[in-house]
Amino acid sequence: MTILFEALYKGNRYVGFDRDEPVLYRVEDGQLAAAVIAAKGSASALQALLTSGAESVAVALDDPELRLLPPLLPEASGKALLSGFMGTHKKKWGGKTFAEGDEFTPPKWFFKGFGDWAKLPGEPLTVPAEPIALIEEPEIVLVYVNDEEGRPHYAGYTFGNDLCDIGLHRKDPGYNPYCKLCDTAVAPWLFLDTPPTTASGRVTITRGGETAWQGDFDCGEDALYYRIQDMAAHLFSFPAVRRPGLINYVLLGADEASFHDGFRIADGDRIDIDFASHGVTISNDVRFLAPPAL
């Protein structure tokens, strides 16, 4: 399985394909997006387009001058959207799966923010100063690139933590747009493959250096009520998300988590999400942030 990542190194943008002994290949802003469109879904063609004749450098991942990026993130703000679906898992539908031939009723959708709002593992996730009840949400994140005609091209998938205030949502579902105004973490590793049927792991929440809560999860397609193809097709029926050149990060929803077990995330807690099936870990501290005086 091919994995791709982008990074800034000594002021320049690079792409790499090996997390263990990375060789970086110089690219310009937008070059990866154009290559995704040109490769037409072929991982080998994409790698050839990005490496052939490119300036390269070997760099250790712990080099202090190396800064990983959310995959395909444009330099210009507003050129990428972060959004997602709610209530997608079978557990929330009594274990059922959407039946073939039934009329498709799309899941609820939310807008999380611009792509450059996404945080990387290791960065703090900020939330409003007085949330009602936070919840971590381990999710698959699909990445799409729109071409000049506005046609979306699937690039691959990564993983994220859609932290949100589920207590605010439960107080009034109409408050859901506010509920989602918490930072989201997105892993820098882009898997150049179809969305996984199984993506499982374990969440650990640490408080004061000690484990406060742990729980397992599965966010693969086999755990979903809806088919990913149907959800994506419905979302991209709206012209607003098909704007030419736009990058879309699409969260596929999460299973039940710490909130459903009666746990409440507090200021300063550390959330570690180990997507063990894919060798990806997302770790972030939670920060309650008070607004400035008006």
Measured between alpha carbons, how far is residue 117 from residues 84, 185, 214, 245, 249 in Å? 14, 9, 27, 18, 11
Q: Give the HSE-up count for residue 169: Cα atoms under 13 Å, Cβ half-sphere.
A: 18
Q: For residues 51 and 157, give the distance between their C-alpha atoms in angstroms, rounded to a whole number.
A: 21
Residue 182 structure tokens: 């918490």
* Torsion sign over Cα 209, 135, 233, 69: negative
Q: What is residue 292's predicted lDDT score, i.e. its pLDDT?
A: 85
Return the higher-pLDDT residue of 51 and 92: 51
- Specify the DSSP class assigned to residue 90: G
For 137-167, the pLDDT digits (tens) are 999 999 999 999 999 999 999 999 999 999 9
Q: For residues 247 and 70, give the distance between their C-alpha atoms in angstroms, rounded to a whole number.
A: 11
Q: Return the number of other C-beta atoms located less than 10 Å from residue 163's C-beta.
A: 24
Amino acid at 198: T
Q: Which residues pair with 127 in a beta bridge?
A: 288
Element (H, E) at 154: strand 152-161
For 239-287, the pLDDT digits (tens) are 999 999 999 999 999 988 999 999 999 999 999 999 999 999 999 999 9
Across 167-181, b (16+ Cβ under 10 Å) vs e yields bbbeeeeeebeebbe
pLDDT band at 20 (very low <50, low <70, confident <90, very high): confident
Percent of the chain at pLDDT > 90 equals 90
Render 225-282 in DSSP notation, one character per residue: SS-HHHHHHHHTTSGGGG-TT-EEEEE------GGGGT----TT-EEEEEEGGGTEEE
Span 181-197, average pLDDT: 97
CATH class given for the domain over 80-289: alpha beta
Measured between alpha carbons, how far is residue 68 from residues 113, 118, 146, 150 in Å? 20, 12, 23, 28
For 91-138, the pLDDT digits (tens) are 888 888 887 777 888 999 999 999 999 999 999 999 999 999 999 999
Does residue 80 contact residue 247 with C-beta atoms inside 8 Å? yes
Span 70-92, average pLDDT: 94
First to last CA, the chain: 51
Q: What is residue 95's predicted lDDT score, i.e. its pLDDT?
A: 84
* Ranges for all domains in the chain classified under CATH 3.90.850.10: 80-289
Cα 249–Cα 252–Cα 254 angle in degrees, nearest 5: 130
| Nearest residue to 4 via CA among 39, 41, 56, 46 | 46
Percent of the chain at pLDDT > 70 equals 100
